[in-house]
Amino acid sequence: MKNKFKFYAATLFISYSTLIIYYQLPFGIMDDFKNLEHIINLNQDFFVYYFDYFRERTFEKGLLQPFYLLQMYFQYSLNSPLLIYIQNLFIVFLSHYLFIRGVSNYVKLNYLISLLIFLIYPFSNDLLIHPSLQEKYAFLIFGIVLILINRKSKFKKLIFLLSLVVPLIKLQGTVLIFIIFSIYKSTKSLNSLYAISGFIFGILLQTYVTFFIEAEYSIRNSFDNVFSNLQHPVNVIYLFLILTYLFFLFRQKETNLVELSIAFSSLAILFIYINFYILGYLLSTYAYFISIMVPFIMSKFEEKFSQFEVKQITICLILLIFSISQFFIPRLERWSDLGEVYETLQTTNYGNIYYCSEEGTIFINKFIKKDNKLIFVNSLNNIESSNIDYLVLTDDFQCSSFGMSYNGSCADFDLFKSKHSRMKIKKISC
C-alpha cells in the first residue's frame, strides 16, 4: 500500500475515533450487556462455562460458532465502552485492509477508494457500532490466508488451520470458498490446495449443524420468505450491483477467475440471508464485497469519462461526508442519548416504562434501579386499556413510530429528553 494511502487510512481512523470519543458512547442494547455477563462467568470458571455455552449454542440454538466466546473475551475484557469501541474500530479497519490486501494479489484494486466505498455504505456503521459482530474476523483471517498463499509452502499447515477457522467463525464465512477455489484454479499451488481442504472441512461441519440438527435457528426457505427478503431495498440494490459488476466483467477481453469469484461469493451471501431473515447488522457483510465491486465498476466509467484517481477520491470523500452526517452521526447521537437514559434510570424513580426493543429491555433492566422496570411491547395497542396514564421510552431508530402515534384523545409530555432528542421518556395520559 502506498504511503499516501496509509496516510489517508490513518486520517480516516483518527476521524472516526474522534467522533466516538466526542459522543462518549456507552454500551449498546444488542449484545453488549450479555457479553459483559459472559466475561464474569468466564472469569469464574473459564473452561466449564466455555464448553457448556458451546454445547448449548450448537445443539439448542443450531449455531456452530466455537470461537464466539473467545472473541467476546478478547474485546469485552477491556470493560470500558470507549476502549472497546476504539479497539473494534481498529479491528474493522484491519479486517478490511487485510481482505483487500489479500484479494489485490489477484485483482487490481485501489485500496483507498475501496476503503472509502466500504465506509460510505450505510450498513458498515453496524460493524462500528456493534463490537460483538463476528463477520469482521472471518474477513480478517481470510485476508491473512490470501496473503500466506502467496508465500512459501512452509505455511501450508497454518493455511489449512486458518482456512478451517473462517467458516467456523460464522456461517457467512463459508461463501469465501469461491475465491479460494478460483485462486487454486488459476495458480494450482499447494498452498491454495491446503486452503480449499481447510474450507471444505469447516463447511462440512457447518452443513451438519445447519441441516441435521433440530434447533432454534433453522433454514426458513419457503418461497414467500425468500421472495419477501429478496424484495428488501438493500437486497435489490445489492443484486443490481452484482449484475452490473458481471456485465462489465464479461465485457473484458479475458475473464479473471478471481474477479468472477467475487460475484459468486456475493450471490452466495445474498442467498444465505434471503433464506433466513433481513436485519441491518447482517447487511453489513455486503460492505466487503461492495468495496471491491464498486471500484471495479467505477474504473470502467473512468475510461469513458476520464475520471482520474484524484477525481474518484474527491467524489468518494464527498459521499463519505454525506454518509457520515446522514447515517453514522445519528447512530452516535442515539448511543450517546442512550447513555443519558442509563443515567436517569439509575438515579430517578419512574416505575414501569414501555419500550419496543425486546433484547434491549432484557439487558437494561439488569443495570437500572429496582424501582424502574422496562416492559417490552411491540406497539402501544398492546398496553392494557386500563392504563390511563403510562410511560414510554421512545427511540427514533428502534421502531421510530413507537410512542409517537396513539388515540387522538390522549396527550403526552416529556419527563426526560436526551441531549440529541433521539430517545425520550414520555408520559401519555388518556
Please report the DSSP string for 111-170 in residue order.
HHHHHHHHHHSTTHHHHHH-TT--HHHHHHHHHHHHHHHTS-GGGHHHHHHHHHHHHHH-
Residue 245: helix, strand or coil by DSSP? helix
Q: What is the mean pLDDT of residues 325-333?
A: 94
Given a cut of 80, is residue 237 above it in pLDDT? Answer: yes
Most confident of 146-160, 202-216, 370-384: 146-160
Q: What percent of the chain has pLDDT above 90?
A: 56
Given a cut of 60, is residue 379 above it in pLDDT? Answer: yes
Q: What is d(CA 143, CA 154) in angstroms, rounded to the nearest whole number?
A: 18
Residues 6+ apart with CB under 8 A from 424: 393, 394, 403, 414, 416, 417, 418
Q: What is the DSSP letter of 173?
A: G
Single out the residue of 131, 19, 80, 26 nearest to residue 342, CA to CA: 26
Given a cut of 90, is residue 163 above it in pLDDT? Answer: yes
Q: What is the mean pLDDT of residues 143-168?
A: 92
**Is the distance from CB of 73 to CB of 39 less than 8 angstroms?**
yes
**Cβ of 362: how many Cβ atoms within 10 Å?**
14
Q: What's residue 403's pLDDT?
A: 65
Q: What is the mean pLDDT of residues 93-97?
A: 97
Q: What's residue 301's pLDDT?
A: 72
Least confident of 2-11, 126-135, 228-237, 317-326: 2-11
Q: What's residue 174's pLDDT?
A: 93
Given a cut of 70, is residue 276 above it in pLDDT? Answer: yes
Q: What is the mean pLDDT of residues 55-72?
A: 88
Residues 6+ apart with CB under 8 A from 245: 262, 263, 266, 293, 296, 297
Work out the pLDDT band at 24, boundaries 50, 70, 90.
Answer: very high
Distance of alpha carbon 161 from the chain centroid: 24
- The grid coordinates of residue 356 equal 419496543
Given a cut of 70, is residue 220 above it in pLDDT? Answer: no
Q: What is d(CA 218, CA 272) in angstroms, rounded to the nearest whole number?
A: 11
CA angle, 101 then 107 then 110, to 5°: 60
**Is the distance from CB of 160 to CB of 198 less than 8 angstroms?**
yes
Q: What's residue 359's pLDDT?
A: 81
Residue 427: helix, strand or coil by DSSP? strand
- The grid coordinates of residue 212 equal 441435521
Q: What's residue 289's pLDDT?
A: 97
**Is the distance from CB of 265 to CB of 222 less than 8 angstroms?**
no
Single out the residue of 91, 6, 22, 34 nearest to residue 328, CA to CA: 22
The per-residue pLDDT for range 169-213, each reduced to its tens digit, is 988 999 999 999 999 999 889 999 999 999 999 999 988 887 777
Work out the pLDDT band at 430, boundaries 50, 70, 90.
Answer: confident
Residues 6+ apart with CB under 8 A from 122: 323, 326, 327
Q: What's residue 335's pLDDT?
A: 93
Given a cut of 60, is residue 102 above it in pLDDT? Answer: yes
Most confident of 175-184, 228-237, 352-361: 175-184
Least confident of 22-36, 244-258, 390-404: 390-404
- How many Cα atoms sit within 13 Å of 426 on the Cβ side? 21
Instruction: Sketch the domain layout of the chain as residue ranges.
Output: 31-305, 338-429
What's the sign of the alpha-carbon dihedral 417, 30, 279, 220? negative
Q: What is the mean pLDDT of residues 297-321?
A: 77
- The grid coordinates of residue 120 equal 460510505
Mean pLDDT of the chain: 88
Q: What's residue 302's pLDDT?
A: 63
**Cβ of 227: how many Cβ atoms within 10 Å?**
10
Q: In degrees rounded to 5, what are phi and psi of residue 152?
A: -70, 160
- The grid coordinates of residue 10 equal 490513518
Distance of alpha carbon 14 from the chain centroid: 21
* DSSP per-residue codes, 364-382: HGGGS-TT-EEEE-SSGGG
